Homo-oligomer: A and B are copies of this chain.
Amino acid sequence: MTQKLRLGMVGGGQGAFIGEVHRIAARLDGQWDLVAGALSSDPDRALDSAQDLGLDADRSYHSFEEMAAAEAQRPDGIDAVAIVTPNHMHADPSIAFLNQNIHVICDKPLAANLEQAQAISAAAKRSTAHFILTHNYTGYPLIRQARAMIAARELGDIRVVQVEYAQDWLTEEVSNKQADWRTDPSRSGAGGCVGDIGTHAHNLMCFVTGLTLESLSAELSTFVEGRQLDDNVQAKLRFTGGARGSLWASQVAVGNENGLRLRIYGTKGGLEWSQENPNQMNFTRFGHPKQILTRAGVSSDASNQAASRIPAGHPEGYLEGFANLYRDAADLIRATRDDSFQAPEHHIGLQDGMDGMKFILACLHSSQQQGTWVNLLDVN
């Protein structure tokens, strides 16, 4: 029996969405125990939340600073901390735990601005701990197969990448816990839609294609009156090596619940995948009929199989994909400590997070300058 790992959490108190997702993801494979938390900046809510989750009272902390210090001292201290606060509250706790050499599993995007991101990066360099960013869509089995297929050149040279992420929940002015911070620049950062979901689209396409985004030309729009941040993003993309792409992200596209879609075309083949039915992916070899590849199906490669729990046709979803990141995190931490464990082939880390921040900023800069092409290397 492999010992379970001990997890702490910053944020994720009552009423939170993504905190509960992280907890389910951590529980699903039975490799993590949630044992400590600084679940809310409101002390009463923090305590109530901790009780709901069955944390020992002495491991429900008033602040992440206190938690980082205390857990680092305990012989049974946490192995990793999940940071599930709004964007502007990613950096300080990340740094606090990295400074204690406690592994950090942080929700995306990396931070609310580049300064914070760079501070995290500096802390990570000083630390022996890993930093893992939960771009959870990379956890889907077919996404991993897509990445492997492209790496194996089954599509030939990539020419065109079309990625989109369409939602409609911000079609009108909304006020609730989830909407409020995402539309508030002081908590979300300068990117609205581009930071919340545009970064997922950006990360996913980079993860799958392995391409380097060289430059982009973007237009951010705000359609709902009074909203301070963008709610629609359109961008043209140029990749190193000559591929071209388009990215569209919207929170006002009526009729779209969570429409993250990725299409990739190369000299030899094409792939098409949609998050809302993630257990299927279309694959066409040029000159041959379109095939429907499935999660854990007859055409699965090793990466698809490894990321699947149950047979084909029994749909796995968002939570299982997210749980794959927690499984990878466990593998990574164990492999760091013990050579008999194998590290995951890949994890989304600081470099990806920094790329995401630069993507956000490049979109903002380009949009402010009438869509001028902005080279990602020039974003600092």
Query: CB within 8 Å of B: which residues of A?
Result: 1, 4, 17, 20-21, 23-24, 27-30, 51-54, 155, 159-160, 162, 164, 167-169, 171-172, 217, 219, 221, 223, 232, 234-236, 238, 244-246, 248, 250, 252-259, 263, 265-270, 272, 275-279, 282-294, 297-299, 309-320, 370-371, 373
A167 and B318 contact, CB distance less than 8 A: no
* Docked CA distance A299–B244 (Å): 29
B277 and A1 contact, CB distance less than 8 A: no
Partner of A314, one of B168, B272, B279, B317: B317
Residues of B within 8 A of A292 (CB): 289-292
Residues of B within 8 A of A312 (CB): 257-258
Residues of B within 8 A of A297 (CB): 257, 289
* Docked CA distance A286–B174 (Å): 13
* Docked CA distance A263–B316 (Å): 23
B221 and A244 contact, CB distance less than 8 A: yes
A24-B28, A316-B318, A319-B310 are known contacts. Are A244 and B252 too (CB-CB below 8 A)?
Answer: no
Closest to A250 in B: B160
A315 and B276 contact, CB distance less than 8 A: yes
B232 and A159 contact, CB distance less than 8 A: yes
A52-B1, A248-B246, A254-B265 are known contacts. Are A24 and B315 too (CB-CB below 8 A)?
Answer: no
Residues of B within 8 A of A290 (CB): 255, 291-292
Residues of B within 8 A of A268 (CB): 254
A54 and B315 contact, CB distance less than 8 A: no
A314 to chain B, nearest CB (A): 4
B29 and A24 contact, CB distance less than 8 A: yes
Partner of A313, one of B172, B250, B276: B276
B288 and A299 contact, CB distance less than 8 A: yes
Complex A-B, nearest 8 residue pairs according to Cβ-Cβ distance, in ascending order: A258-B313, A257-B313, A255-B284, A254-B270, A315-B317, A255-B270, A317-B317, A314-B318
A16 to chain B, nearest CB (A): 12
Residues of B within 8 A of A293 (CB): 289
Partner of A54, one of B1, B246, B373: B1
Residues of B within 8 A of A54 (CB): 1, 4, 30
B370 and A373 contact, CB distance less than 8 A: yes
A306 to chain B, nearest CB (A): 15
* Docked CA distance A347–B326 (Å): 32
6 contacts between A and B (CB under 8 A): A167-B313, A232-B244, A234-B246, A257-B311, A276-B279, A289-B297
A234 and B232 contact, CB distance less than 8 A: no
Residues of B within 8 A of A172 (CB): 267, 286
A44 to chain B, nearest CB (A): 15
Residues of B within 8 A of A169 (CB): 311
* Docked CA distance A301–B28 (Å): 27
* Docked CA distance A367–B28 (Å): 43
A267 and B219 contact, CB distance less than 8 A: no
A252 and B160 contact, CB distance less than 8 A: yes
A270 and B246 contact, CB distance less than 8 A: no
Closest to A3 in B: B54
B234 and A53 contact, CB distance less than 8 A: no
